[in-house]
Amino acid sequence: MQQGDTTTAEPSSKDGSSRTRSRKVMWGLAAIVVTAIIVAIGWRLTLYKTHIPPESVDLSLSVYPLTDKPSLAVLPFQNLTGDPQQEYFSDGIADQLITSLSQAPYLYVTARTSTFAFKANPMQVQEIAAKLGVQYLLEGSVQRDKDRVRIHVQLIDGRNGNHIWAETYDRNFSDLFAVQDEITMAVMAVLNVQITGYATGALKYSRPTRLNAYEHYLKGLYYHLGRRPEDVKRARQSFEEAVHIDPNFGRAYTWMANTYLDEIDLRLTTQREQVLEKAEQAVSRALAVDPDYPPYGTMSRISRLKKDMENAIVYGRKAVQQAPNDSGRHYMLCLALERGEQFEEAVESCETALRLAPFRPVNYVLELAWSLVGKTQYDTSIPLFKEVIDRSPQSFYAYLAYKGLTAAYELSDRHVDANLAAQNVMRMNPNFSLENESRLSPAKEGPFKQRMMNAYRDAGLK
């Protein structure tokens, strides 16, 4: 029928009722189709991100109790050089101060992972102190010109923003190490922190004899601490350059070893045994040139990857003893304890690491969740796995979190949720197989590993 006919013809009542019924049928069919499409889209989205049910809690608001020690955060130092390529140097100065101050057992020092979050997000000092849960902030700037370096530092009371102490060091570049030590000792003195003999010795741990070796070392740390897979080799190249310039630079050998271990942890290599051997060689060299300060943290990491959990735990505890305020060392101990199935202590170590790193690095949160699974506290672990996925949805950590969700749901009899989590495991790693998982799993052979493998299988993974 043409358009003119529809506007002029008067339909009969019979034709009208027939058309009304047709329209109802058509609208009904359309509603069914739309509903089906919405359901299909919803199901598809479920596969791409596990739904977070109402019982989840925002654990990012959790704050572990404040310590009774003086508490300090070292903020990123400003690069006043005018050259963005020198950013590694200003970052390195702040990072080395964190490392030095962390040696003192009577001072609480916030981890780099939390303080450096403010580098691109400046705030009022009182707000930063409140977010980090600390009493004091150390901030500064670095300016370098050929053979001179100018470092300005100031210690601030985070409760009211008042400046407690400030100093400017305008020195020859060759005096850099002395300046770092002076700043560390001055901060401890102002805060009335007891300085132990062990801490003062650790300040000079494994320093190179040539400053250009130290520059390459700082570049290596800059790349390594970025935690990007593409930077692993760049970090190693910088450490290799450092030891080429100074073959007795023990700390550079230690971090070189860690770049090899990163290849295994991030699954960037299929040559696991060969890479482990190179890491062990680098640690052996570090011990040979600097026997007074063994790299226990790295030694724990190597033992754990070799599934020698007894030594991994021993070295992990010694690493914490060396630097009790270093969140990374508590995290490494947590990893060793969890893999060694000492879950109660693993939870305590992870919680300490998170207390020292209030911005909750996702790998710390993930390891706490796995430790809780080991304690069969599945309902407590589930929100933590979801936090990892929500904060880092496309990362390797999210993949590990989906595996954790699969097990936690299955072992708490939430089989539908377990199956959805398992589908996300396959989405993120289409080559997943139980055979490969059993072979590559960092867990030692025993009841816990068997429980996980059975849970994966029951949730539908093959």
Q: pLDDT tens digits, residue range 231-253? A: 999 999 999 999 999 999 999 99
Residue 9 in this model has a pLDDT that exceeds 80: no
Looking at the chain, the number of H-run helices and the number of E-run strands are 21, 6
The pLDDT tens digits of the residues spanning 313-335 come to 999 999 998 888 889 999 999 99
The torsion angles phi and psi of 450, rounded to 5 degrees, stand at -65, -35
Residues 428-437 have a mean pLDDT of 94
Residue 396 in this model has a pLDDT that exceeds 90: no
Environment class of residue 140 by beta-carbon count within 10 Å: exposed (0-12), middle (13-18) or buried (19+)?
Answer: buried
What local confidence, expressed as pLDDT, does residue 194 receive? 58
**3-class secondary-structure state, position 152:** strand
What local confidence, expressed as pLDDT, does residue 24 receive? 47
Residues of the chain with CATH 1.25.40.10: 360-458
Domain 69-205 top-level CATH class = alpha beta
Could you write out the DSSP letters of every residue in 386-439? HHHHHHSTTSHHHHHHHHHHHHHHHHTT-HHHHHHHHHHHHHH-TT--HHHHHH
The pLDDT tens digits of the residues spanning 262-286 come to 998 888 888 999 999 999 999 999 9
Residue 404 CA to residue 451 CA, distance in Å, equals 12
The pLDDT tens digits of the residues spanning 50-91 come to 333 333 323 233 334 445 678 899 999 999 988 888 899 999
Residues 100-115 have a mean pLDDT of 82
- Can you say whether the dihedral through the CA atoms of 23, 28, 34, 36 is positive or negative? negative
Residues of the chain with CATH 3.40.50.10070: 69-205
Radius of gyration of the chain (CA): 28
CA 195 to chain centre: 30
What local confidence, expressed as pLDDT, does residue 265 receive? 85
Residue 202 in this model has a pLDDT that exceeds 70: no
What local confidence, expressed as pLDDT, does residue 295 receive? 93
The first and second tokens of residue 48, run together, are 């791409």
> Which residue carries 């300090």 as its tokens?
72
What local confidence, expressed as pLDDT, does residue 27 receive? 47
What local confidence, expressed as pLDDT, does residue 17 receive? 47
Q: For residues 358 and 344, which has the higher predicted lDDT (pLDDT)?
A: 344
* CATH 3.40.50.300 for the 360-458 domain, yes or no: no
Residue 334 vs residues 47, 287, 352, 458: alpha-carbon distances, Å: 31, 24, 9, 28
Q: With cut-offs at 50, 70 and 90, classify the pLDDT of residue 18.
A: very low
What local confidence, expressed as pLDDT, does residue 165 receive? 94
Q: Which long-range contacts (CB under 8 A, 24 or more apart) does 62-68 make?
A: 63/133, 63/358, 64/351, 64/352, 64/354, 64/355, 65/355, 66/133, 67/108, 67/355
